[in-house]
Chain A
């Protein structure tokens, strides 16, 4: 029988359509069908200035907007050859890790809810509420923050920001203990996730899987540690790796990543350097408002950047960062003008989605739901 797990389904986390050929309860073949959320972001980027693309990038992987921002601005800064001040880099790391915590909380809540543990969803969103309030404090927006700019950060974080983050970092590890209390030792959770949707390391690498999907199968690779960017080399953190390759292994990887991320946030708070938050490049970075209102050159730069954009020397760059889902890459091609010639987003989930048929064929129908949850799928990234 061919069953359609349609685009509107509570467990597909977005508009994913999966065509299942089932024989009784066993899945014989499985084919994902995507494209329901395609909005042509890559084409739109070609019609906008470089700084106007930043809000577009937020909406690609909407659960970790700052990671998208970071990847794009790092790519453009590489094209321009800009030197970013240390305070901006550390702030970027801090916010990136808070974003990772945010994304993993949504993953945990929805994944557990699909499998049946409804309480975990509300617990995770209680913590997420605090992180969203922190983002709103810094950038004015809860989710689509667009807080990073080419050359640094948009605004200085307000007074009380670091204290609030420190308070959150104080109580968050005990909340992760709460989630683990509910799930890790739970026999029902173990029966639903252990041994389910196994994937070997060779298959994962051949199919292009990355992030916790790859690390759950035993491959020890994390872009933050192995090919660091934005001063990640100055932070100490462990990279959790599991050997079994099943849903439980990926769950353990991500839950431990929650603990590691809050550790990085604490390190960033303790060691935050002083200094400017924007690079010293008047033709690219907007001047301070006070300077813009009193100095003629600053006013002219402000006007020119906003109305004409800044020309980026011709060339191409592929910048990859470790998003909560895996390797997110931005391939930016410049032809020397103020608008990018081509922006391509390498979505981590598109490659991870290819592992789904391999994981689910031959297994029960109920395991498909567990497998979809374990690869942490976000359709915005897949379809763009």
Chain B
């Protein structure tokens, strides 16, 4: 499949089920959307992410009932620095969508979605461990992969690949 240029205009993409549902619910929460390489990405405001997840999970037409993944990308040194990414899957409709929340390096805090999908527990712990993004409302936000007394967040771009001796 040859590459097609990405579509980033929110108006052109508003017919996609997930975009339409979110725009219906709260148009200010959606700051942008992108359709690239057959994948839909929706940019959501940080304060509305948990409710947006609830809306998508309970959408009767296309329920995104399965949380595939929660991860993060560090765009140091550009701001906003962190991008927390949620991959959702709708098992009945066999559709995927990606939600993205942009966070500044000054306050990398976002609300946890463990209340929506309990399966987000370990994924959010891993993001906290490796990137330092805090999730408010998480039942047990502690380091997952690194030892408990580790200092620093290894997957940030200002942490060297070889680590510190």
Contacts and interface: CB of A to CB of B under 8 A. Distances in A.
Interface of A: 34-35, 38, 40, 42-44, 46-47, 78-81, 83, 205-210, 219, 221, 226-227, 313, 315-318, 320, 327, 329, 331, 333, 341-342, 344, 346, 350-351, 353-354, 383-384
Interface stretch (B11-19, B21-29, B48-56, B66-74): B66-74
Nearest to B150: A35
Interface in B31-88: 36-39, 41, 65-69, 71, 73-74, 85, 87
A173 to B, nearest CB: 31
Interface string B108-119: 000000000111
Contacts, number: 103
A341 B1 CA distance: 23
Interface residues of B, number: 43
A46 B117 contact: no
B141 to A, nearest CB: 14
B25 to A, nearest CB: 22
Contacts of A344: 69, 71
A206 B117 contact: yes
Nearest to B127: A344
Contacts of A315: 6, 36-37
A35 B73 contact: no
B37 A208 contact: no
B154 A40 contact: yes
Contacts of B39: 316-318
Nearest to A313: B3
A325 to B, nearest CB: 14
A329 B85 CA distance: 14
Given A44-B161, A83-B1, A346 B69 contact: yes
A76 B14 CA distance: 28
Contacts of B89: 327
Nearest to A350: B122
B91 interface: yes
Contacts of A342: 73-74
B91 A351 contact: no
B144 interface: yes
Contacts of A313: 3
